[in-house]
Structure 1
Amino acid sequence: MFQPPSPEPIRFAYWVPNVSGGLVISRIPQRTSWDAAYNRRLAQIAEEAGFDYALTQIRFTAGYGAEYQHESVAFSHALLAATTRLKVIAALLPGPWNPTLAAKQIATISQLSEGRIAINVVSGWFSGEFRAIGEPWLDHDERYRRSEEFIRALRGIWTQDDFTFRGDFYRYANYTLKPKPAEPQPEIFQGGSSRAARDMAARVSDWYFTNGNTPEGIRAQVEDVRAKAAANARRVRIGVNAFVIARDTEAEARAVLQEIIDHADPEAVKAFGHEVKNAGRASPEGEGNWAKSSFEDLVQYNDGFKTNLIGTPDQIAERIVALKEVGVDLALLAFLHFQEEVQYFGEQVIPRVRALEAVRDAAAARPAAA
């Protein structure tokens, strides 16, 4: 069932490089750093450039070029302290976190940041990470069932006094958390392309992230999630992953893409592909986020090259608006050299997107006024 695009402007988020190696599994030289000083300045640049959100990553073990990793919740708070408007989405992994700790951490940060904290609930795809830290590795659909209980428990703790909940994974009896988060309540994001992921989003999440893809490839997921959400009397917004290479000419941008792929770490890419495709095959339908990803696609963690935001500012702006036309509400972006490229994106791409949106809004309004 086709639904018209949202009249709201498309929003922009960026992946926080709080792990080493940037956002590509490549040995290409990068000016991106995982350290705190670089990321504080990056958050300020992104805020000035017109970005709405920053998404911190959660990893507990080294792998695929990410030897060093800062913890997501503490790092999110550091970025919030360095900014005034930017919202920061902290990634949480049920298992290592339980809702009690997460609810208290996020409520406190919400109070300190005047409601600028959100969360991304990651159900997990890397079994080796869970084994390394002594956490049970659940079957695919059980991981999503646990994540759904995690979200239901968080919402209950954040909105109710004497909260009581009896699930298979979490249980509460007359629990009251004070202070609760500042209003508005923290937004809840999640990802995944499996049926279980989409069903969970439709029932409990505010935002659904999907891997990079073409507008045609994204449309079916958007329509499925929105139809299921409507059946639950809910609205779920859609975010899509993309890796941006914006240059003055398309030839320059394509040359950078080829250089990233030429410098890929073959063993790390293959190992990453093995893990994520195994996780997808474990779903009942036998497919997951990376089911149809090639070697080149896997060089960027979440199929960001597939979205094709690679070219001139005009080309990229047109492709972003095409994503909005199929129902995308937010573009989650990664870059090679984050600070300077986020600034360039804000100067050269976002104004073009807003101009195209204004033209389309005017065109949509004309028949109604006639």
Structure 2
Amino acid sequence: MSQISKQTDNSLKFAYWVPNVSGGLVISKIEQRTSWSIEYNKKLAQIAEQYGFDYALSQIRFTAGYGAEYQHEPVAFSHSILEATEKLKVIIAILPGPWKPVTVAKQLATIDQLTNGRVAINIVSGWFKGEFNAIGEHWLEHDERYNRSEEFIKVLKGIWTEDNFSFHGNFYQFNNYTLKPKPLQTPHPEIFQGGTSRAARDMGSKVSDWYFANGNTIEGIKAQVDDVRSKAAAEGRTIKIGVNAFVIARASEEEAKAVLQEIVEKADIEAVQAFGHAAKQAGQASPEGEGNWAKSTLEDLVQYNDGFKTNLIGTPEQIADRIIALKNIGVDLILTAYLHFQEEVAYFGKHVLPLVRERENKLSSNN
């Protein structure tokens, strides 16, 4: 029997990080009943689908580090998850540089055909210089990485929507190229991207369908939402907003806060500091010095994408209220991570999502 809470077109969407790399989603030695295996992830996807999650986001890592010793390749892994589900859409993270746009366009067009239009893409512009050095990829400076990603997205859109596609940019060249079959989704699979810097927000406003923000306070997220939306409007476009959040939903606020405290107290300090050094270096490398993690504390960095900052930590009622507050400032999707994915996705689906839908329905009836 379906457990999906009632949604409308204006309902918030929910996604979860696919743990296709080892180590879970916090850099901590706390017990995490989460596995990077395909068997675990297929079951997790089925649980998420059962309880009304809309998306799963697979991660891209090429090298070990910060607790992630093992990493499954996201395109193949995502296809396996899609085969195990019927409605869930999987967002595949892709890193320009190692991947060429024609390869990605062809891979995802095929997967879209095979899964009845359930694939999306997340363009990761890259922040870890050591990873690029390890695999022999040329490292571009901050804004150039976003310039390349912008061209990458323009090329994807062209290949997916046009015949005899031509493009002559600084990074990519195409001459009368036609891809067949094209994706089932029209005009093309949804395109996500993240980032905090001015370059990331500018790029999102020009070419992306979705902009992912790192975790932040309501005020911090609202500033990004307003900026990206105003930039998109100036381009004659609209863009949707997703926000990262680490969820700790428990029967009491005290219990939830105790879990957070234990995660931080058992943090792998050496790994967090190494991640923090590389991450902050990347964030501060933006011309304005405000890229991802530029202002993150050591505690924030225990969760890769500042997920603690969003404060979805407490009782189901408290979390539902905070989610509605995010919706009220213009957020369209919550990208969630958990300590113990299978059981906590189910708990969230049983105890938090119905409260969110109730609150959304009240908002709709009052408007």
TM-score with structure 1 setting the length:
0.96
- Equivalence for 1:261: 264
SS of residue in 1 equivalent to 2:16: strand
CA–CA distance in structure 1, aligned partners of residues 52 and 219 of structure 2:
27
197, 203, 222: which one aligns with 2:206: 203
Q: 5+ residue gaps in structure 1?
A: 1-5, 365-370
List structure 1 runs of 4+ shifted beyond 3 angstroms.
none
- Equivalence for 2:190: 187
SS of residue in 2 equivalent to 1:15: strand
8 Å CA contact retained: 1:7, 1:361 = no
| Deviation digits for residues 289-348 of structure 1 (CA, Å, limit 9, x no counterpart) | 111111111000000000000000000000000000011000000000000000000000
Q: Which amino acid aligns with 2:85?
A: T
- Equivalence for 1:156: 158
Q: Is 1:299 aligned to residue 302 of structure 2? A: yes
8 Å CA contact retained: 2:246, 2:336 = yes
Q: Which amino acid aligns with 1:206?
A: D
SS of residue in 2 equivalent to 1:357: helix
Q: 5+ residue gaps in structure 2?
A: 1-7
- Equivalence for 1:271: 274
116, 119, 123: which one aligns with 2:118: 116
356, 360, 363: which one aligns with 1:357: 360
For 1:26-175, list aligned pairs within 5 A: 26-175=28-177
8 Å CA contact retained: 2:216, 2:306 = yes
- Equivalence for 1:236: 239
| Deviation digits for residues 27-51 of structure 1 (CA, Å, limit 9, x no counterpart) | 1111100000000000000000110
SS of residue in 1 equivalent to 2:70: coil
CA–CA distance in structure 2, aligned partners of residues 180 and 327 of structure 1:
32
CA–CA distance in structure 1, aligned partners of residues 127 and 292 of structure 2:
10
Q: Tell me by how many angstroms 1:98 deviates.
A: 0.6
211, 215, 231: which one aligns with 1:212: 215
8 Å CA contact retained: 1:297, 1:305 = yes
8 Å CA contact retained: 1:193, 1:289 = yes
CA–CA distance in structure 2, aligned partners of residues 357 and 213 of structure 1:
22
SS of residue in 1 equivalent to 2:60: coil
CA–CA distance in structure 2, aligned partners of residues 291 and 150 of structure 1:
25
Q: Which amino acid aligns with 1:279?
A: A
| RMSD between superposed Cα atoms in Å | 0.9
Q: Tell me by how many angstroms 1:7 deviates.
A: 7.3
- Equivalence for 1:368: none
Q: Tell me by how many angstroms 1:259 deviates.
A: 0.7
8 Å CA contact retained: 2:282, 2:292 = no
Q: Which amino acid aligns with 1:139?
A: E
8 Å CA contact retained: 1:244, 1:310 = yes
CA–CA distance in structure 2, aligned partners of residues 7 and 164 of structure 1:
36
Q: Tell me by how many angstroms 1:153 deviates.
A: 0.4
CA–CA distance in structure 1, aligned partners of residues 358 and 178 of structure 2:
48
Q: Tell me by how many angstroms 1:282 deviates.
A: 1.1
8 Å CA contact retained: 1:297, 1:303 = yes
Q: Aligned pair count?
A: 359
8 Å CA contact retained: 2:165, 2:176 = yes
CA–CA distance in structure 1, aligned partners of residues 245 and 123 of structure 2:
19
TM-score with structure 2 setting the length:
0.97
Q: Tell me by how many angstroms 1:249 deviates.
A: 0.4
- Equivalence for 1:367: none
CA–CA distance in structure 1, aligned partners of residues 271 and 76 of structure 2:
28
245, 250, 253: which one aligns with 1:247: 250
Q: Which amino acid aligns with 1:290?
A: W
Fraction of identical pairs, as percent = 71
CA–CA distance in structure 1, aligned partners of residues 30 and 185 of structure 2:
43
Q: Tell me by how many angstroms 1:183 deviates.
A: 2.0
Deviates more, 1:283-292 or 1:103-112: 283-292
Q: Which amino acid aligns with 2:122?
A: N
11, 14, 20: which one aligns with 1:12: 14
CA–CA distance in structure 2, aligned partners of residues 250 and 7 of structure 1:
32
